[in-house]
Amino acid sequence: MSHDPADAPLKTTPLHAAHIALGGKLVPFAGYELPVQYTDGVLKEHLWTREHAGAFDVSHMGQGRLRGVAPLAAFEEVVPGDFIGLKAGKQKYSMLLNRAGGIIDDLMASRPDDDGLFLVVNGACKENDFAVISEELGPQVQIERYEDRALVALQGPEAAAVLAAHAPEVAGMVFMDIRWVKAFGEDLIVSRSGYTGEDGFEISIPGHAAARIWNTLLDDHRVKPIGLGARDSLRLEAGLPLYGHDLDETVSPVEAGLTFAVNKNRREQRDFPGAARIVKELAEGPARKCVALKVLEGAPAREGAEIADASGRVIGVVTSGGYSPILKGGIAIGFVPPAHAEPGGRLSVIVRGKTQACEVVKLPFVPHRYVRKAGG
């Protein structure tokens, strides 16, 4: 008899007890029990991250190391990015693609050192991701899973000052830099990146030290714990896609507006899964495009709301939507035919049977504040 994965007991991260102690409201997410919010609530947590520094437990994500015979070249067999040229100390965003050019998952791949590739993949997808990579790449490369490491994101305009107090060298890092850092008496993998649109870091920590380091960060008056609710509203304002909502195995990088991750030389070589579809869409345009919508009236449009054109004809669907605390109104991401995707255009969303006006805008909704040059 097969068991529904939904019936499986929820996993916990090394910070589980810390979340309970902080009054976190725990919910099921990606097979884990994680805090959706703490006592301040989602709105205050969101604004705190935009103004100060927020600490997020993202230990549900999959961490691993790809090693073996030419791991960088091997990795290019399943992604459309250029990894052979990736220098130690750098990180890149990429996507695991299926043979039809759909996105199996989006991920971060990096070189904190010269030893293969360090991968961070989405929590809900990690078992499948690592299985796909192993199967496609064969026995010549191996994935060592980092099951014993936690992952903490420290995000916001004060994040760099907070972390630099414990690890001065992080102040010299720029967006998408990654390195091993000795701090809090532990060996950490620190990248200057995140999922909020703010400056900040993602910190891979040995599991046994996670609670101590988390609590030390929270001892700083500039840092508050932030739950999944604000993580979602922050990434939506930043126009960052969420796998399983804005991306799935039917969506191509071109439809999703992620063509920056399809390197020029790879387009020419056409040597990655789904290359035929992706190259064709780059040349002729896709059948649908990801679009950003500012809802001009009424309630926020949530995932699943229909998008209609000026005549009221349904032309698409919202894949992520909610209230923007910074813009003080509804924002949404969805898919429509390319003719309706131009910024400045007027569409409508249908929320609980009501037609509400919205405007097509450029992403991100709220400007990114990544630090791209040293001292910036």
Query: Which residue blocks in the chain are alpha helix, DSSP H?
Result: 16-21, 42-51, 71-75, 126-137, 159-164, 210-218, 228-237, 264-269, 275-284
Q: Residue 96: which H helix or E strand, with range?
A: strand 91-97
- What's the average model confidence in pLDDT over 341-355? 97
Mean pLDDT for the chain overall: 96
Closest alpha carbon to 304 in 313, 314, 317: 317
Query: What is d(CA 237, CA 364) in angstroms, rounded to the nearest whole number?
Result: 6
Asked if pLDDT for residue 295 goes beyond 60, the answer is yes
CA dihedral 264, 265, 270, 272 (to 10 degrees): -90
User: How many Cβ atoms sit within 10 Å of the Cβ of residue 70?
Assistant: 12
Q: Residue 143: which H helix or E strand, with range?
A: strand 141-145
- What's the average model confidence in pLDDT over 311-316? 97
CB-based burial label for 44 (10 Å; 0-12, 13-18, 19+): middle
* Alpha carbon of residue 91 to chain centroid: 14
Looking at the chain, the whole-number percentage of residues with pLDDT higher than 70 is: 98
- What's the average model confidence in pLDDT over 5-25? 91
CB-based burial label for 10 (10 Å; 0-12, 13-18, 19+): middle
Which token pair is 145? 């899973």
State the pLDDT confidence band at 5, using cuts at 50, 70 and 90: low
- Amino acid (1-letter code) at residue 288: R
- What's the average model confidence in pLDDT over 174-198? 98
- What's the average model confidence in pLDDT over 360-376? 93
Cβ neighbours for 41, distance < 8 A, ≥ 6 positions apart:
none
Asked if pLDDT for residue 303 goes beyond 90, the answer is yes
Rounded to a whole number, what is the distance in angstroms from the first to the last CA of the chain?
A: 58
- Residue scoring higher pLDDT (4 or 212): 212
pLDDT of residue 3: 45
270 touches 263 (CB < 8 A): no
Asked if pLDDT for residue 21 goes beyond 60, the answer is yes
pLDDT tens across 148-181, in order? 999 999 999 999 999 999 999 999 999 999 999 9
Looking at the chain, the whole-number percentage of residues with pLDDT higher than 90 is: 97
From residue 142, give the alpha-carbon distance in Å to each of 13, 133, 134, 138, 344. Answer: 25, 9, 7, 8, 48
- What's the average model confidence in pLDDT over 123-134? 97
pLDDT of residue 8: 80
pLDDT tens across 65-117, in order? 999 999 999 999 999 999 999 999 999 999 999 999 999 999 999 999 999 99
Which range has the worst mean pLDDT, 3-17, 35-49, 204-218? Answer: 3-17
- Full set of structural domains in the chain with CATH: 1-240 (3.30.1360.120), 291-364 (2.40.30.110)
pLDDT of residue 6: 57
How open is the CA angle 105-109-111, to the nearest 5 degrees?
Answer: 170
- Residue scoring higher pLDDT (112 or 6): 112
